[in-house]
Homo-oligomer: A and B are copies of this chain.
Amino acid sequence: MARPLSPKLSPVIIAEAALAMVDAQGEFTLPALAKRLRVSPSSLYNHISGKADIIELMRGQAVAAVDVAGASEGEPHWAAAIRDIAVQYRNSYSRHPRLIPLLTAYSVRDETTIGMYNVLAERFAEAGFGPRRILEAITVLDNYVLGSALDVAAPEEVWDPGAKASASLRAALDAGLGREHRADEAFLFGLDLIMAGLERAAA
């Protein structure tokens, strides 16, 4: 064996395989990942610096589909452009809900994400917000999107309080739980509350 003619591995190949494992099982180990790639665990270290590195690669993979440019140029209204980015951002993560808990422990260096912050900042500036308010607005959106993405990842039992539910909570749970798009509808509801508030703040 040793050194094959064409490499069996690459950062992208590793990230894709790891993401598939996380999607399926909610976690991954280096031995299992190596086995899936028909490779020895130590081989991975020729392409990545450790497990944390793989997690960062998965973040990039998940978010790569976000089209910041489209929202930035095509859309004339700043609020509509920002809303569009938030929706795309959240949808990227909800395609890999079980990845999110792994991401929360690490910081963001992903280019797509930073590109998104850039567009958001420019759009908020265009709306007339000052620097400090811009940082607050981006923070609010980021927090909300990440929290909402976590909601998709959370098991359904999060919302099963057993016998301790009040009548109002019980009715609410019965009305919404198990609905396929429950998390999506709640996300959009809240996003529109936030966007409406930001538009009023701008005026």
Contacts and interface: CB of A to CB of B under 8 A. Distances in A.
Contacts of A177: 135
Interface in A108-145: 108-109, 111, 114-115, 117-118, 120-122, 124-125, 130-132, 134-140, 142-145
Given A131-B175, A190-B143, A111 B151 contact: no
A53 interface: no
A172 B140 contact: no
A124 B173 CA distance: 13
B117 A161 contact: yes
How large, as a class, is the contact surface on chain A?
35 or more
Contacts of A73: none
Contact of A172 (B135, B148, B168): B135
A142 B136 contact: no
A75 interface: no
Interface of A: 26, 100-101, 104-105, 107-109, 111, 114-115, 117-118, 120-122, 124-125, 130-132, 134-140, 142-148, 150-151, 153-155, 157-158, 161, 164-166, 168-169, 171-177, 182-183, 185-187, 189-190, 192-194, 196-198, 200-201
28 contacts: A100-B104, A101-B101, A101-B105, A104-B150, A109-B157, A111-B164, A120-B169, A121-B166, A121-B168, A121-B172, A122-B169, A130-B175, A132-B172, A134-B168, A134-B171, A136-B189, A138-B172, A139-B151, A139-B182, A140-B187, A143-B144, A143-B147, A143-B151, A144-B147, A144-B190, A147-B148, A147-B150, A192-B197
3 residue pairs, one from A and one from B, having the closest CB atoms? A147-B147, A193-B197, A140-B190
